[in-house]
Amino acid sequence: MKNAVGSCYKNWVFESKEPEKQREFWVEARRLPKLSAGVFFRRVEEVLAEMGFGEEVHRLCRPAYSQRSDGRPGIDPVVYFKMLMVGFFENLPSERAIAARSEDSLAVRAFLGYRLDEATPDHSSLSVIRHRLPAEVYQAVFELILKALKECGLLKGRAVGIDSSVIEANASLKSLVVRNTEEAYWDYVKNLAQLAGLDPKDDKAVRQFDRRRPGKRLSNEQFKNRHDADAKISRQKGKTDLIYKPENSVDMDSGVIIQAQLAAADKADSVGLAERIASVQGCLVRAPGSPKEDQGRSGRW
């Protein structure tokens, strides 16, 4: 009986998996994983090379970079735009996610041109480049892609659908300030409470006053977010929040995004629609096409 119990106990004993200790300091290069961009990213790289993407991006971004030879070299803007493509292809929600994916994926490393022993760009570097480049450069690079799509016959432009959606802004109502004075919202409420005879240092009393004060209204005409002027105050799903209203114009034949714009989140979709349609038409006009295609597209708006 004792032997049987011992035998059963031995059957339940398992060896815990401990992390292996480093056995050698140097690893031969031939033993490292081989970098390969995969079929998809290899094809993307071939198309970008055929359209002269790298040379055109360097030309567009050159004024934003220092031409001095001393100092730390900047990140290649071609790499930056390729990382944005990776974020779009893999549905990554932020620059942090793009930077993490670029660091971890062998396929993305090969697509960006980084070896295993090279550090890929950090998310903070992406933020610096995003603020460094003007909006005109982004639009020019976007239209460069549209031009290639048109030459390949993927962009028709005969029927275009325009639709907007509502997304929550990465901004807080606590960061609101008065537009005219730049006074913080909480300081503004304290001043109102003091005028009403309350002690502005009593946070509890001030909060109750703010919750119940007559005529309370958070309007975009009076307030704005300190850090993000594009975020607008709106009431969505029963609560007041800061939102964006992105709008995409899409070619209905192929699904190609012709233009991505930001509509006024505190106004109806129809406000400014004519101007946004004219902007989409401008993108299509600047994308070269055959006279027959252009003639067939005219008058369809």
236 vs 12, residue with greater confidence: 236
Residue 34, pLDDT above cutoff 70: no
pLDDT at site 292: 41
71 vs 92, residue with greater confidence: 92
Q: What whole-number percentage of the chain has pLDDT above 70? A: 82
Who's near 296: CB < 8 A, 6+ residues apart? 158
Could you tell me if 43 and 95 lie in one domain? yes
User: pLDDT tens-digit profile of 245-272?
Assistant: 889 999 999 899 998 888 878 788 888 8
pLDDT at site 234: 84
Could you tell me if 60 and 124 lie in one domain? yes
Could you tell me if 114 and 191 lie in one domain? no
In the listed set 206, 227, 248, which residue is the last one of a domain according to the structure? 227
Could you tell me if 52 and 110 lie in one domain? yes
**What tokens does 126 get?**
């992406």
Residue 84 lies in a domain: yes
Cα–Cα distance between 49 and 53 in angstroms, integer? 6
Could you tell me if 110 and 43 lie in one domain? yes
Residue 26, pLDDT above cutoff 80: no
Task: Quote the domain boundaries for residue 192.
Answer: 172-227
Residue 201 lies in a domain: yes
Could you tell me if 42 and 128 lie in one domain? yes
Residue 242 lies in a domain: no
pLDDT at site 168: 84
Work out how many domains the chain is built from and give that number: 2
User: pLDDT tens-digit profile of 206-217?
Assistant: 888 888 887 788
Q: Tell me the average pLDDT across 271-278.
A: 88
Helix or strand (DSSP H, E) at 239: strand 239-251
Residue 7 lies in a domain: no
The mean pLDDT value of the chain amounts to 82
User: pLDDT tens-digit profile of 92-145?
Assistant: 989 999 999 999 898 999 999 998 888 999 999 999 999 999 999 999 999 999
Residue 193, pLDDT above cutoff 60: yes
Residue 247 lies in a domain: no
pTM, 2 dp: 0.72
Residue with tokens 């035998």: 7
Residue 97 lies in a domain: yes
Residue 264 lies in a domain: no
Could you tell me if 128 and 177 lie in one domain? no
pLDDT at site 61: 92
In the listed set 196, 212, 227, which residue is the last one of a domain according to the structure? 227
In the listed set 210, 227, 244, which residue is the last one of a domain according to the structure? 227
Residue 66, pLDDT above cutoff 70: yes
Residue 281 lies in a domain: no
